[in-house]
Amino acid sequence: MTYQTIEVERRDGVLILRQNRPDKLNCRNSQMYVEIMAALDLASHDDNVAVVVLTGTGKFFCAGMDFANDPEVAYTAQAWDDETTVRIKQALPKRQSDDVTTWLPVKFIETFIEFDKPLIGAVNGPAIGEGFSSLLHCDVIYCTEATYFWAPFARAGVAPEFCSTLLLEARLGKSLAAATLYLARRINAQEAQNVGFVVDILPSSEDFLTRVVALIQDGLALSGPPELRASTLTRFKQLVYPRQTKAALLAQCHAEFELIRDRAISGETNTVQSYYQSELPS
Amino acid sequence: MTYQTIEVERRDGVLILRQNRPDKLNCRNSQMYVEIMAALDLASHDDNVAVVVLTGTGKFFCAGMDFANDPEVAYTAQAWDDETTVRIKQALPKRQSDDVTTWLPVKFIETFIEFDKPLIGAVNGPAIGEGFSSLLHCDVIYCTEATYFWAPFARAGVAPEFCSTLLLEARLGKSLAAATLYLARRINAQEAQNVGFVVDILPSSEDFLTRVVALIQDGLALSGPPELRASTLTRFKQLVYPRQTKAALLAQCHAEFELIRDRAISGETNTVQSYYQSELPS
Amino acid sequence: MTYQTIEVERRDGVLILRQNRPDKLNCRNSQMYVEIMAALDLASHDDNVAVVVLTGTGKFFCAGMDFANDPEVAYTAQAWDDETTVRIKQALPKRQSDDVTTWLPVKFIETFIEFDKPLIGAVNGPAIGEGFSSLLHCDVIYCTEATYFWAPFARAGVAPEFCSTLLLEARLGKSLAAATLYLARRINAQEAQNVGFVVDILPSSEDFLTRVVALIQDGLALSGPPELRASTLTRFKQLVYPRQTKAALLAQCHAEFELIRDRAISGETNTVQSYYQSELPS
């Protein structure tokens, strides 16, 4: 498969999925959504893939969603009627079910929630907005010294998304989660490791990804013969992550997007965005 | 409203609620209970208040409950028959429903559980007993270097209260929570930050509160135009903190107070208090 | 009672249960299972015991299960028909109910889950495999500087056990738990303390246990008169650890052992063990 917004590479049992719009700080447009979902779907069915690593090209991991001036959005809104999409549209409140800026992100994060192999974040630099919140669905997270995590949802006039109202507290503890949600606090790499969000901090250098992959391969070497690794780790993850947990996450994700839509429809989102003339800092 | 045991001050969207009995280490008597509840109720309905900060005057944050020689207790026991109080009395076991040392603390902590805006602890010094356990209901917690957290429930002949049998583990991790509950372990500021209980440690100086408020105001500046901040953060907190979570907390709080009453009625509390002739260290 | 694989000693209200097969790195054979269960049962009914400390002789805490060449297993398989064993056998899937390598470990960990007094891990050195996962059922954990925690379940061709698919995440945070489960990551003492798994790290010296017991006794001194300590702490633990929590843990434990049996029956366990010719490092 040919991708335009991501690069996909396999090193033995490790599939690397690299967000690749460095001039846009790897912000995700609708095409990147579609391509990441397609790559995860292929990885899920590939017996040679034991784990998937999500990373980014350049200095940023991902600085959020970027649906502005995105010609794909209109296309996408029309074109999708596969079984999963139809189900998601039916599950959403009426007014959201036709809105691609709602059902496409819901479908995107559902892909993360349902992904059945270990998903590893190799955070090469700042993770902002949904770049941060999507990491909440990664199992293991590594980052560089230069990484920070920042989710100023209120500043963007939206609401916490991707289950962050549930998972930030689970992964950061209540104090840091609340400071993120209510006070837009930035979290640096050391703070993230102190609370267990990040398992290891590596230097911010060109070989960051190579070093992360080496750590992962050292781990996989202890997972039995290569042909058994994918099925073994999938079965371990099934025990960790039962169906009812996934259902609760999806329901929370829907509730969050309902608030996002409420704010958009009521005009609050526009009011907030007008209030801030400046851009997000880089 | 005029308060005698607390001081209330608003700085832009931040309401500061300062426990103000420094000669009693800010121990809470029944009047302080009533005044904190009243101030939180007003804050909840004031659109100009985005967040509330709980702090203390002097060297201590709060050293626990102080109902001894408290003339207000008898008064309070008679006077309250508002709807919430009647409901709480009905929910409690029969023998507790007329006891102001039970239903008043239950009502007090219910006010924390139900409070719908971000509640921030600015812990200016040691937090002991319920001074510690009430912080479990704060969203974000800051403290000074000199702060320690200590809850020697067994030493007082009572039992863990204010949902501490549920929330200590959620906020400190199981090891430190169990050491607190079973071994009366003190937790210093650094340890509290390591496990994510405290988000930032600031120097123990006169301007501690000013610095905390500045951090909060920096955060609020990213929450949209001032007139939208209170409603935005309230809606975020609703997502984090759904009704069923609040109900579970209340039920745990009732169970804890039932054990406290059991110990009082059986004479254990007196036995323990006689065993310790010495006072709590200051 | 006379024990052959453990040593039991009481110092005031503290019962010390020391795993004592140092030449086998304190690996647990079926006899040690039986003896630990017997000692915990006695401790539960002894009013003079307020807390139990689990530790090990020599350099290791416990390096896992050791049922190989264990003559007791065959004996044990026949001899047990007490009420608890019969109930556990009935709860297990048909094919596991007659297998002593399943029902005996399930019974063993059920003893930990049901133990009603504070259980304290004094981890004198590396805790590997079930030596690590059984610590997930301890309330407070202390360790030496030389301790590491390591659970390479996939390397042994088995599956995570003793509720580790639930409790590793609860006690280590998701990132470190997932790195343990999927990548066999070792956790050193400092990392364990950072995420709150361990409450205090002490030097690796001969008097480690003495120092841990002194810390515990300092705590117990704040638990009321000696004759009330056991009952007080038991009632505190009941509030922390309600029946439904115990039931959920048992169900998870059963599901894990079902995967272990699946892998054994399908031949995967043998395949994995043949793949690794080398021994577990010491």
Query: Residue B86: its pLDDT value, please?
Result: 75
A258 touches chain B (CB under 8 A): no
Confidence category of residue C79, pLDDT binned at 50, 70, 90:
low
- C78: domain range? 6-206+226-279
Query: In this structure, which amino acid lies at residue C57?
Result: T
CB B124 within 8 A of CB B56: yes
Cα–Cα distance between C47 and B243 in angstroms, integer? Answer: 41
Q: Collect all residues of chain C within an 8 Å Cβ-Cβ radius of residue A218.
A: 183
DSSP codes, C71-129: HHHHHHHHH--SHHHHHHHHHS-GGGTT-HHHHHHHHHHHHHHH--S-EEEEE-S-EET
Judged against a pLDDT cut of 60, whether residue A280 lies above it is answered with: no
**Is 50 exceeded by the pLDDT of residue C134?**
yes
Report yes or no on A88 lying in a domain.
yes
Which residues of B are less than 8 Å from C233 in CB distance?
Answer: 154, 182
Tell me if B236 and A182 make a contact (CB, 8 A cut-off). yes
Kindly list the residues from chain C whose CB atom is less than 8 angstroms away from the CB atom of residue B169.
240
Taking CA atoms, what residue in A is nearest to B121? A175
The pLDDT score that the predictor gives to residue C119 is: 98
Q: Answer yes or no: do A174 and B196 touch at CB < 8 A.
A: yes
| Statement: residue B279 has pLDDT above 70 | no
Q: Which residue has the tokens 């996962």?
A: C133
SS (H, E, C) C147-182: CEEECCCCCCCCCCCCCHHHHHHHHHCHHHHHHHHH
Quick check: is B31 in a domain?
yes
> Above 70 in pLDDT, residue B76?
no
Residue range C113-138: average pLDDT? 98
Amino acid C95: pLDDT = 62
Per the prediction, chain C carries an average pLDDT of 91
For chain C, the chains sharing at least 3 beta-carbon pairs closer than 8 angstroms are: A, B
* Min distance A216 CA to chain C CA atoms (Å): 7
Best B232, B237, B241 residue to mutate vs chain A (most A CBs within 10 Å): B232
Q: What is the dihedral of CA B218, B219, B221, B222, to 10 degrees?
A: 140
Instruction: Please answer yes or no on whether B271 and C225 come within 8 Å at the CB atom.
Output: yes
Taking only Cα atoms into account, the Rg of chain A, rounded to an integer number of angstroms, comes to 18
Closest residue in chain B to residue C137, using alpha carbons only: B174
Say if CB B27 and CB B21 are below 8 A apart.
yes
Element of type H or E holding C187: strand C187-188
Digit-coded pLDDT (tens) for C88-101: 777 776 666 667 77
Per-residue pLDDT, averaged over A29-41, amounts to 93
Of A53-67, B69-83, B119-133, C209-223, the least confident: B69-83
Does residue B240 lie within any of the structural domains?
A: yes
**Average of pLDDT values for C167-186?**
97
Residue A79 has pLDDT above 60, yes or no: no
Q: Return the CATH number at A252.
A: 3.90.226.10
Q: Is residue A218 part of a domain?
A: no
Q: Tell me, what's the pLDDT at C274? A: 93
Task: Point out the residue among A152, A173, A252 whose CB comes nearest to the CB of B171.
Answer: A173
Residue B88 has a pLDDT of: 73
Choose the mutation target among B53, B116, B140 for the interface with A, i.e. most A CBs under 10 Å: B140
Percentage of residues of chain B with pLDDT beyond 70:
91
Side chain identity, residue B23:
D
| CB-defined contacts B:C, below 8 A | 96
Q: Among partner residues C196, C218, C233, which is closest to B176 by beta-carbon distance? A: C196
**Test mutation, C158, C168, C175, chain A, max A CBs within 10 A:** C175
Coil, strand, or helix at residue B4? coil
Is C105 part of any domain?
yes
Higher pLDDT, C66 or C248: C248
Percent of chain B with pLDDT over 90: 81
Mean pLDDT of A58-84: 74
Please report residues of C whose CB lies closer than 8 A to that of B275: 224-225
A165 inside 8 A of chain B by CB: yes
**Nearest by CB: C197 against B166, B175, B256:** B175
- Kindly indicate the confidence band of residue B281, based on its pLDDT and cuts at 50, 70 and 90: very low
CB pair distance less than 8 Å for A182 and B219: yes
Inspect the interface and report whether the beta carbons of B223 and A185 lie closer than 8 Å.
Answer: no
Task: Give the pLDDT confidence score for residue B282 in this predicted structure.
Answer: 40
pLDDT recorded at residue B38: 94
Which residues numbered 179-198 in A keep a CB inside 8 Å of some CB on C?
A: 193-198
| Chain C interface includes B173 (CB < 8 A) | yes
Residue where the block lists tokens 């101030």:
B39
| Mean pLDDT taken over chain A | 91
| Chain B interface includes A280 (CB < 8 A) | no
In chain B, how many domains are there? 1
Q: Which of A171, A216, A235 sits opposite C174 (nearest CB)?
A: A171
Closest CA to C261 of C113, C103, C150: C103
**pLDDT for the residue numbered A222:** 95
Q: Where residue B102 falls among pLDDT bands split at 50, 70, 90?
A: confident
Across all residues in chain B, what is the average pLDDT? 91
Per-residue pLDDT of B46-61, as tens digits, reads: 999 999 999 999 999 9
pLDDT of residue C71: 64
Residue B216 within a domain = no
Q: Do A152 and B232 touch (CB under 8 A)?
A: no
Mean pLDDT, range A111-118, rounded to an integer: 97
Q: Is the pTM of this model over 0.90?
A: yes
Are B233 and A178 an interchain contact pair (Cβ–Cβ within 8 Å)?
Answer: no
Determine how many CB atoms are found less than 10 A away from the CB of residue A14.
19
pLDDT number for residue A71? 64
Amino acid B83: pLDDT: 73
Instruction: Find the closest chain B residue to C230 by CA distance.
Output: B182
- Rounded to an integer, the average pLDDT of B81-100 is 71
**Chain A residues whose beta carbon lies within 8 Å of the beta carbon of residue C179:** 140, 199, 219
C220 part of a folded domain: no
Tell me which residue in B196, B224, B228 faces A172 most closely, judged by beta carbons: B196
Q: Would you say residue B95 has pLDDT above 90?
A: no
C-beta atoms of B181 and C240 within 8 A: yes
Q: Residue B112 class from Cβ within 10 Å (0-12 exposed, 13-18 middle, 19+ buried)?
A: buried
Task: List all residues 6 or more positions away from B126 whose beta carbon is below 8 Å from its beta carbon.
Answer: B25, B59, B60, B61, B63, B146, B147, B148, B149, B150
Residue contact B219–A179, C-beta within 8 A: yes
Chains touching A, CB cut-off 8 Å, 3+ pairs:
B, C
> C216 in a domain, yes or no?
no
